[in-house]
């Protein structure tokens, strides 16, 4: 089905995001050409935890590049008619690694930027209870998150997910994400060096700790969980 640019953009981040704080990155029936959603705040909005220079490069070069390459790869294929999320799931099932890598990185970064919107805000209610049950307390979650990030060899992502009734951490290499395992994503932290090296050099866990404590909108995380 043909959709207009306006509608695609609205489905990705605009009107839908305004109507609800629940994040649905890349969801909707928008098919190719896939479009990178606008950054939901100014490039310097995450400083000093993530500098404006890192955001400019990460959003403007890396994230943008995944969409450019994805559109080249899916042109004329069955994937061109799917939503971005469905391309991730289907290309993973099909073993189409080149398409999966670009689609998953597009989706991952849509999620990544959106989770900082309106932050910081502390976990509350049911989410806070599940974090306590799984990790003892918020500090325990942050510590385990940082350790999981350090344990990823090379490039990858660490995700907080819903695993049944529990919140749990999942680590993935490269472009991996919980969609491939049918799990709901709550928080996604990019541990590729481009995400932190300009600001933290080799201190990956320090970056993760600062971002989790100072930038994530945990109230929006709770809404995603519900
Ligand atoms: Mn990245």
Q: What is the CATH number of the domain that holds 99?
A: 1.10.287.990
Tell me, yes or no, whether 71 lies in a domain: yes
pLDDT for res 226: 86
76-99: b or e for each residue (b if 16 or more CB lie within 10 Å)?
eeebbebbbbbbbbbbbeeebeeb
Q: Is 203 exposed, middle or buried, given 0-12, 13-18 or 19+ CB atoms closer than 10 A? A: middle
Whole-number Å distance, alpha carbon 195 to ligand 1 midpoint, is: 5
**Domain containing residue 181: CATH number:** 3.55.40.20
Same domain, 135 and 218: yes
**Same domain (yes/no): 156, 200:** yes
> Do 134 and 88 lie in a common domain?
no
DSSP 140-181: HHHHHHHHHHHHS-SSEEEEEEEETTEEEEEEEETT--GGGG
In the prediction, which pLDDT does 18 show?
36
CA 13/CA 7 separation, integer angstroms: 10
- State residue 120's pLDDT score: 86
Residues 6 or more apart from 174 whose CB is under 8 A from it? 101, 154, 155, 156
Residue 217: the pLDDT is 96
Ligand 1 centre distance from Cα of residue 194 (Å)? 6
Q: How many CA atoms lie within 13 A of 1 on its CB side?
A: 7
Q: CB–CB of 149/204 below 8 Å?
A: yes
| Contact status, residue 221 vs residue 115, Cβ threshold 8 Å | yes
Say if 209 falls within a structural domain.
Answer: yes
Positions in the chain whose pLDDT score sits under 70 = 1-30
Alpha-carbon gap, residue 168 to 204, rounded angstroms: 20
Mention every residue, 6+ apart, whose C-beta is less than 8 A from residue 208. Answer: 142, 145, 146, 149, 158, 189, 191
Whether residues 200 and 139 fall in one domain: yes
Please give the model's pTM, rounded to 2 decimal places: 0.86
Domain count, the chain: 2
Residue-number span of the structural domain to which 63 is assigned? 52-114
Last residue of a domain, one of 114, 148, 166: 114
184 assigned to some structural domain: yes
Rounded Cα–Cα distance for residues 5 and 168 (Å): 37
Centre of ligand 1 to C-alpha 9, Å, is 21
Distance 108 CA to ligand 1 centre (A): 8
For residue 185, the CA-to-ligand 1 centroid distance in Å is 17
Domain assignment present for 219: yes
Distance from Cα 189 to the centre of ligand 1, integer Å: 9
Cα radius of gyration (the chain): 17
Residue 136 included in any domain: yes
| Residue 50 alpha carbon to ligand 1 centre in Å | 12
Q: Do the domain assignments include residue 168?
A: yes
Verify that 191 and 129 share a domain, yes or no: yes
d(CA 50, CA 55): 7
Cα of 17 vs centre of ligand 1, distance in Å, is 22
Separation of alpha carbons 151 and 177, rounded Å: 16
57, part of any domain: yes
pLDDT at 219: 93
Note whether residue 26 is domain-resident.
no
């Amino acid at each position: 089905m043909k959709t207009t640019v306006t509608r695609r953009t609205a489905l990705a981040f605009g009107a839908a995001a305004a109507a609800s704080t629940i994040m649905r990155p890349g969801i909707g029936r928008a098919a190719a050409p896939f479009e990178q959603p606008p950054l939901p705040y100014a490039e310097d909005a995450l400083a000093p935890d993530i500098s404006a220079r890192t955001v400019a490069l990460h959003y403007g070069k890396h994230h943008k590049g995944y969409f450019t390459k994805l559109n080249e790869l899916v042109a004329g294929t069955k994937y061109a008619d799917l939503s971005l999320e469905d391309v991730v799931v289907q290309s993973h099932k099909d073993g189409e690694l080149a398409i999966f890598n670009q689609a998953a990185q597009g989706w991952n970064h849509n999620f990544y930027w959106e989770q900082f919107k309106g932050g910081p805000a502390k976990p509350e209610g049911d989410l806070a209870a599940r974090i306590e049950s799984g990790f003892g307390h918020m500090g325990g979650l942050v510590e385990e998150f940082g350790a999981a990030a350090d344990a990823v060899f090379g490039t990858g992502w660490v995700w907080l997910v819903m695993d049944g009734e529990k919140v749990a951490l999942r680590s993935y290499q490269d472009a991996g994400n919980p969609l491939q395992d049918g799990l709901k994503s709550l928080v996604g932290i990019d541990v590729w060096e481009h995400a932190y090296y300009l600001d933290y050099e080799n201190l990956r866990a320090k970056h993760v700790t600062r971002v989790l404590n100072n930038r994530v909108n945990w109230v929006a995380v709770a809404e995603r969980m519900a």
